[in-house]
Amino acid sequence: MVRTNWKVFEEDYWAINTTLQELLKNSNATSVLLLDKTGQLISSVGEQPQFDMYSFASLCAADFEANAQLAKLIGEKDFSTLYHQGSNESMYLARVAQDIILVILFDKKTTLGLVRLRTKKAVDGLSAVINRLYDKLEYENEEYSESNFDEEFAAEAEMEIDSLFSD
């Protein structure tokens, strides 16, 4: 299930941002972004890029999805990481958890090997946080649906609908 409206609890916010800050520092990257597969920016740390981050996040999500389709064509389930190398700037994308993508922007001051190594640890930590967050949100959604839509409400709604369409 793709979440389009994120609700992040304070403890999860700090866990996510601490992990992103550590990745930024330990990989010597310039920026780190966390987004969902719809392109919604969840969090970012580091230097503010000189372009529209929201458009960039959408394009990254589309890039990841396009590559997932390419993977299927060649018989792979998906590609868990992508790498784009430029003459001065590069980017590394990694799947974190279901529908979550980590984007690391870096320049010549660091190496792909260091970014990959540090990203592996960050992905493990972020996956745990995101999965706990999914569990919390599932619990909240169940609680909401049980408390607000009981049997009496359903029966009354059904009667009202029937009265609207009766002859």
Tell me, what CATH number does 131's domain have? 3.30.450.30
Sign of CA dihedral 124, 127, 131, 132: positive
In a domain, 4, yes or no: no
Euclidean distance between CA atoms 34 and 41, whole angstroms: 6
The structure tokens 């190594």 sit at: 117
Task: Give 156 or 91, the one with higher predicted confidence.
Answer: 91
Instruction: Tell me if the pTM is above 0.85.
Output: no
Residue 30 lies in a domain: yes
Domain limits at 89? 10-164
pLDDT greater than 50 at residue 144: no
**Residue 68 — left, alpha, or beta (φ > 0 → left; ψ -120 to 50 → alpha)?**
alpha
In a domain, 67, yes or no: yes
Domain count for the chain, please give it: 1
Asked if the structure places residue 89 within a domain, the reply is yes
115 burial type by CB count under 10 A (0-12 exposed, 13-18 middle, 19+ buried): buried
Residue 28 has pLDDT above 90, yes or no: yes
Lowest mean pLDDT among 10-14, 15-19, 64-68, 76-80: 10-14
Q: What is the largest CA-CA distance in the chain?
A: 75
Q: Tell me whether residue 77 is in a domain.
A: yes
Residue 1 lies in a domain: no
Nearest Cα neighbor of 118 from 24, 41, 39 is 24
**45 DSSP β-pair partners:** 32
